[in-house]
Amino acid sequence: MTRLTGKVALVTGGASGIGRAACERLAQEGARVLVTDINQPGGIATVESIGKSAIFQFLDVSQESDWVAAVEQAITSFGRLDIVVNCAGIGFSCHAEEIELTAWNQIVAVNLTGTMLGCKHGIRAIKQSDGGGSIINISSVGGLLGTSDLAAYCATKGGVTLLTKAVALDCAELDYGIRCNSIHPTYVDTEMLDPVAEMIGSREQMVSTMVRNVPLGRLATAQDIANSVLFLASDEAAMITGTSFLVDGGTTAGMPACHSAQ
């Protein structure tokens, strides 16, 4: 359990779901973790679940001043920064013709601008530490494929996909030793699906509907994604950068069979 000994990680959205699981998994492998979120009680609960190797910092990812403060906190408290996990994200569903501009601006601010700021300030901080580092952006299968009622979400996650590739190339060409990859989960059974379950009226019905699109026959768990974060953060992924890392249960592999008797 020492794959990240001596490393320091900053994780956004660390108060719940994938973010909390990522914080806990990185800490299990020896990293010291700055847990960040706008949800202070949830973030503190994550810190308490980890112990002395984690601290909490309020961070609204859409605000550059918050990023400056968070990075300064990581370096002041732990002496360095090696890993940034841009996990904070929001989503909403509606038809394209019904998107409200305020909602559009909000999702762009959190999902895309927030990730850009994480890359920008992550690079600056990681450069100060020896040995390079890793930036991991949580995108989605919706960043690779369109979904009819998620136009705004897909637009932001698609932006994260190509932002990741551009950042990876930039860091490589400048010889920073910083890798940048995106992770693309299928549906993940976390609190983020609660509004969908409420709208449908049954979490069981929601899951059974979503599972039809996942060849492996289940939704992903936060731990599934956290394990992928750990791998991309570790030296085992030293030759991986600019990659769209699929954790989708086969969702994007292709269409289901329809040419043979069932």
Query: Quick one: DSSP state of residue 97?
Result: G
91 lies in the same domain as 204: no
175 lies in the same domain as 209: no
* Nearest Cα residue to 10 out of 49, 45, 62, 59: 59
In this prediction, residue 261 carries a pLDDT of 65
Q: Which of 153, 187, 231, 245 is catalytic?
A: 153
State what percent of residues in the chain have pLDDT above 70. Answer: 98
How many other C-beta atoms lie within 10 A of the C-beta of residue 147?
Answer: 14
Known catalytic residue: 153? yes
CATH number where 77 lies = 3.40.50.720
Residues 154-168: tens digit of each pLDDT: 999 999 999 999 999
| pTM for this entry | 0.94
- The residue segments making up the domain with residue 171 are 8-185+221-246
| Distance, CA of 11 to CA of 143 (rounded, Å) | 20
Q: Is residue 251 part of a domain?
A: no
Q: Is residue 257 part of a domain?
A: no
102 lies in the same domain as 40: yes
